[in-house]
């Protein structure tokens, strides 16, 4: 066995080590992505499941006037809180940062009912804030029935 054979074996071993290293990096990247998805899902559940968020949705469901012009300050506050939290959750769902099936299974009813109650307010606000205002919320509310059955 001469030096060339040793170099060939060395190159082969280096190639195997590099391949194993790439596999480990890919696996680690995938695990990190799963952790980010889990963190985002937990953050959405924490936000939508908080007492403050649930109380704001309850206000929207039960006390919000049908006409935007009749909103009081408390109505605007609760409407904005609900719109912001559902739009934020919808952004994560629409960008596939979380599993939307899980979010809609838990909160599909909230997306649907809140959109029904708040769509007039959102359309009114878009006149001044722009067409993109709560666009993710709107899209999620339209897609929610596929995952959550009334």
R_g over Cα of the chain: 25
Does 149 or 32 have the greater pLDDT score? 32
**Would you say the C-alpha torsion 54, 91, 108, 72 has a positive or negative sign?**
positive
DSSP code at position 67: S
Phi/psi of residue 2, nearest 5 degrees:
-105, -175
Band of the pLDDT at 149, cuts 50, 70, 90? low
List, in order, residues 6 or more apart from 13 with CB less than 8 Å away.
none
pLDDT digits (tens, 9 = 90+) for 49-108: 999 999 999 999 999 998 888 999 999 999 999 999 999 999 999 888 888 888 999 999
Residue with tokens 């605007």: 76
Q: In the prediction, which pLDDT does 86 show? A: 97
pTM: 0.78
Mean of the per-residue pLDDT values for the chain? 89
């Amino acid at each position: 066995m001469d030096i060339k054979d040793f170099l060939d074996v060395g190159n082969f071993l280096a190639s195997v080590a590099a391949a194993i290293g790439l596999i480990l990096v890919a696996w680690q990247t995938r695990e990190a992505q799963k952790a980010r998805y889990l963190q985002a899902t937990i953050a959405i559940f924490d936000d939508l499941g908080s007492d403050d968020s649930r109380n704001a949705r309850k206000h929207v469901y039960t006390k919000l006037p049908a006409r935007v012009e009749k909103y009081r300050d408390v109505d605007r506050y609760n409407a904005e809180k609900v719109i912001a939290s559902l739009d934020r959750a919808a952004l994560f769902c629409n960008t596939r940062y979380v599993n939307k099936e899980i979010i809609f299974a838990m909160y599909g009813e909230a997306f649907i009912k809140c959109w029904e109650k708040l769509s007039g307010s959102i359309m009114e606000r878009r006149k001044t804030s722009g067409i993109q205002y709560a666009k993710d919320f709107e899209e999620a509310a339209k897609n929610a029935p596929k995952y959550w059955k009334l």
